[in-house]
Amino acid sequence: MNWEGKRVLVTGAGGFIGSHLAEKLVTLGARTRALVHYRGDGSWGWLSRLPCRGEIEVHAGDIRDRDGVEKAVRGSEIVFHLAALIGIPYSYDAAQSYTATNIEGTLNILQAARHLGVERLVHTSTSEVYGTARYIPIDEKHPLQAQSPYAASKIGADKMAESFFLSYRLPVVILRPFNTFGPRQSARAIIPTIITECLNGGAVRLGNMHPTRDFNYVADTVDGFLRAAATPAAIGRTIHIGSGREISMLDLANMIGALTNRSVVIEKQEERVRPEGSEVTQLLADSALARELLGWESSVSLEDGLRLTIEWIRKHLNAYSSGGYVL
C-alpha cells in the first residue's frame, strides 16, 4: 500500500505499541490522527516526546465516549484500534473498568467505523485469550480460555469485532500479537522490570519463574499492523504475530543479566505471583497464517531486540522506578 496521504487513525497512540505505529505511519507519509486518553495535565503519553509530534493530529478523549469516538474516526480511511486497559493484575481489582473500556469501547469504535464507512479496521487482540496452551505452537484455531478478567474482556472485544464482520461485512482484521517488547514499554511489563533491576544493580524480583512466553520486538509487531491494513485477503481473519520462540521468565532474566554484564540475583516476590488458576503457563505462536496472507515474519531476534531495548532504557532510566511492584 502507498501510505502517502492516507488518512489514518490510531487509537491508543499515546501508549507503547501505538506510539511506535503512529511514528512509523508519519515516516511513511500518512496523514496520521491519534486518539489518546484524556489527561488533566494535557499530556499525550509517548506522543508528547516524539520528534514527529507536530505532524500528528491529536484527539484527546476516551473510547468509552461514543460521540468522541465518532468525531475521532470521522474522515479516516483506515483505523488501527489499539486503545485498551491491559494490565492483568489490575484487572483482578477493576474488572468492570476492563469491560467498559475493552468491550464497550471497542463497540464504539466498530459502530463509528461502520457508520462512517472506513476502508479497513485493524483490531488488536492478545495471546492471553488462549490461556495456558493446550497444544503448541498455538494456531488461530486454538480454543479460547479467559484466565483473567483482562483476557475475558479481550475475548469479548474480539468477538464483537468478529460479529461486525459477519453481520455487517465491516472490513475488520483481528491482529493477535503475542508478547511485544521494546523501547517505551511500561514498567508493568516483565522485560523493562528485569532490565531496570539489572541496570540499577539490584535483585531481580519475579513472580512465578517457569511460565514461558513468545516475545516479539515492537518493530516487527508494527510491521504486522501495516501489512494487515494493506492486505485484502486479511479481512475477516484473525492473524497471529509471534516469533515462534518461547523462553521462561527465569531464562529471560538470566539472558538480560548476561546482556547487561550483570550477575543476576533472582528473588521470588509473592505479590507478583498470580492466582493459581489465573497463571498462563505457556504461550508459543504459530504464525504460519501471517506468513501466508501477509508475507510477515519476525525479523529481529530476541537477543537483538533485548540489546536495543536495554540501550534505550539505559538512556531513559529515570523514567523507570526500581524495586517497586507496578500493578
For residue 32, what pLDDT is reported? Answer: 98
* Residue ranges making up the domain that contains 164: 7-183+216-244+283-300
List pLDDT tens digits, range 111-137.
Answer: 999 999 999 999 999 999 999 999 999
CA torsion angle for 11, 12, 17, 18 (degrees, to 10)? Answer: 50
Among the ranges given (32-36, 185-189, 224-228, 288-292), the one the predictor scored with the smallest mean pLDDT: 185-189
What span, in angstroms and rounded, lies between the C-alpha atoms of 128 and 177?
Answer: 10
Strands 215-217 and 179-181: parallel
Q: How much is the pLDDT for 325?
A: 55
pLDDT at 319 over 70: yes
Q: Tell me, what CATH number does 55's domain have?
A: 3.40.50.720
In-domain check, residue 269? no
Helix (H, G, I), strand (E, B) or coil at 198: helix
Give per-residue pLDDT as tens, 141-166: 999 999 999 999 999 999 999 999 99
Listed residue (76, 79, 17, 86) closest to 45, CA to CA: 17
Q: What is the pLDDT of residue 327?
A: 53
For residue 261, tell me if it sits in a domain.
no
- Establish if 64 belongs to a structural domain: yes
> Of 18-22, 84-88, 206-210, 322-326, which has the strongest mean pLDDT?
18-22
Per-residue pLDDT tens for 172-223? 999 999 999 999 999 889 999 999 989 988 788 877 788 999 999 999 999 9
Residue 91 lies in a domain: yes
202 belongs to a structural domain: no
Residue 252 is assigned to a structural domain of this protein: no
Least confident piece of the model among 211-225, 262-276, 281-295: 262-276
42 by Cβ neighbours in 10 Å (0-12 / 13-18 / 19+) ranks as: exposed
105-116 helix and 149-168 helix, angle to the nearest 10 degrees:
20
Q: What percent of the chain lies above the pLDDT cut of 70?
A: 97
Report yes or no on 67 lying in a domain: yes
Q: Rounded to 5 degrees, what angle do the CA atoms 85, 108, 13 make?
A: 50
- When divided into structural domains, the chain yields a total of 1
Residues listed for the chain:
327
**276 or 35, greater pLDDT:** 35
Answer whether residue 137 is part of any domain: yes
